[in-house]
Amino acid sequence: MKIKIGIIFGGKSREREISFAGGRTVYDNLDKSLFDPIPLFADPFGNFFLLDWQYVYKGSIRDFYPPANLYPLSEAEFQLYADSLPHVPPHQLMEQIGKLVKLQTLPQLIDFAFLTLHGAGGEDGSIQGLLQYIGIPYTASGILPSAIGMNKAFQKRVMQGAGFAVPNYATLTRQQWLTATPDQQKTLFDQIQQKIGLPMVVKSANQGSSIGVSTVKHDNIADFNRAVLNSLFIKDIDALSWRSLSPDQRKDQIRQISDLRTGIGLPLHLSLSTKLQDTSAKPTTVYLPSDLLHELDRYLLDPSAPEDVMVRLVALDTEHEVLIEEFLTGKEFSCIVIRTDEGEIVSLPPTEIRKGNEIFDYRSKYLAGLSSKQTPIDLPTEVIANICQKAESLFQLFEFHTYARIDGFISPQNHIYLNDPNTTSGMLPSSFFFHQAAEIGLNPSQFLNFVVRSSIAERVSGCADGYRYQTLLQQLDKAIADQRLRPKIKKRVGVILGGYSSERHISVESGRNIYEKLSSSNDYIPIPIF
């Protein structure tokens, strides 16, 4: 009997679209001779849904959830996240595309959870604790290392105390910055500058996928304030800038603001102020893009309003701490580190990130053509070995399980700085996770087999009641052994990709998708032909 693997994706964080895309990759690539993949969509309200399989192949979450027929008529020009419809019951949101799963019935539905959730609720120990409580083993790190892996500021303090090279850094809390007077903010900026220098990188302490990251290059308090507000998911819009936009440009601005990946997202709080005072004592909560457009027009296009009138937008899904770091130069890299079946910690060949922008932000990570990856990094063998050794040491320091992704920089003088260790790597087809697995001869399906088997073993040895999972581990080991003994009678299928036309890059993407699906099938062996 096959092991039923629940692929949990989506979630409530700003990284839910990356989680959704990663869940699709895992769904496609799980070895179908060993596992039954079960797509479990986690919504932003804490519900789990058994998703009808065809919706796994939608381009984004907003293409199917919430269903378009639940949109208010006013939202015809915009896409919504379900967060904008909090008063619609979950069964109405999902009845067209899946089935609500009660938490207590999860152990009857799945044997194992493959987590592709990112951010809050997904890689901070929350879902790990929930699954552990109801007795379902899951992928990658447990509760404590997941919580540590989420907070970049805390990581820095631990790494520094353990003797790792750490760039100069400082932290600001949300309250510390927002309650400070302009003079106090200027003093804080001066103090941070003296410690870190310019340029500096400003980022949210508890976000992934490079969301909320920006660079400050000059001794300019206005630039620094914008960067801090960006990391706190706060946006100020003044009347002059709003009036300079055409009606279509204002709608585009609303779309950008509403997008969780690149804007601050909805719902949000809206308040009115001038340079002299706040004129709106109690913020207005805005849920819908059309309402946001209406409110901004009402306040900022009013000819009788003061010239210095300004609207402040504050995301309800906010950040409480900002990390400010010294801007590092040199080669940027990312390294997947695994724990083998024998318990040995091993680093895979590191990938160099070659980016068009000065920081590896969300757009650079996930939009084609804005960055490239080279595996292994172009450095002498002994330097690569040094990177791997340090990444393995950091994995051991934080007591990660199964695998982790550890990013870093190597300076022109070969000084190595590690940062942002992640307990859940991105699972897109072009991610570091699969790049580096390919370098050691594993296709995505084979690497996912390793992750599942290793994760079950981690739960057996690392949980107080891990004996409950011993039978599942034995079942998987027997299935793998039986698979190796079966005669190889799969059909060999050539996947021809590339070509001569200007669409060759689309061909490569399509060919990779076909290759991956065939690799995980019971019947075929794909052979890529470029």
**Which sequence spans correspond to the domains of the chain?**
3-140, 234-316, 487-530
What residues contact residue 222 under an 8 Å CB cut-off, 6+ apart? none
Handedness of CA 42, 43, 46, 51 (dihedral sign): negative
Helix and strand numbers, DSSP H then E, in the chain: 18, 21
pLDDT at 189: 98
Integer Cα distance of 333 and 331 in angstroms: 6
Class of the domain covering 487-530: alpha beta
Structure-block tokens of residue 517: 């699906």
Which residues does the chain have with pLDDT short of 50?
Answer: 360, 362, 364-366
Q: Determine if the pTM surpasses 0.85.
A: yes
Task: Examine residue 86 and say whether the peptide bond preceding it is cis (omega within 30 degrees of 0).
Answer: no
pLDDT at 99: 95
Instruction: State the DSSP H helix or E strand holding residue 19, giving kind and residue range, or none if neither.
Output: helix 16-29
Nearest to 202 by CA among 321, 319, 323, 318: 323
Structure-block tokens of residue 289: 């893009």
Q: Write the burial class of residue 341 (CB in 10 Å: 0-12 exposed, 13-18 middle, 19+ buried).
A: exposed
* Beta-strand relationship, 3-10 and 35-42: parallel
Q: CATH topology for 3-140?
A: Rossmann fold (3.40.50)
Q: Give me the long-range contacts of 499-508 (CB less than 8 A, separation at least 24).
A: 505/368
* Cα→Cα distances 83→43, 211, 317, Å: 9, 19, 10
Integer Cα distance of 157 and 147 in angstroms: 14
- ∠ Cα 200 204 209 (to 5°): 100
Amino acid at 311: V
pLDDT at 357: 57
Integer Cα distance of 509 and 144 in angstroms: 37
pLDDT at 280: 56
Integer Cα distance of 449 and 16 in angstroms: 24
pLDDT at 366: 46
* Cα→Cα distances 504→497, 501, 530, Å: 8, 6, 10
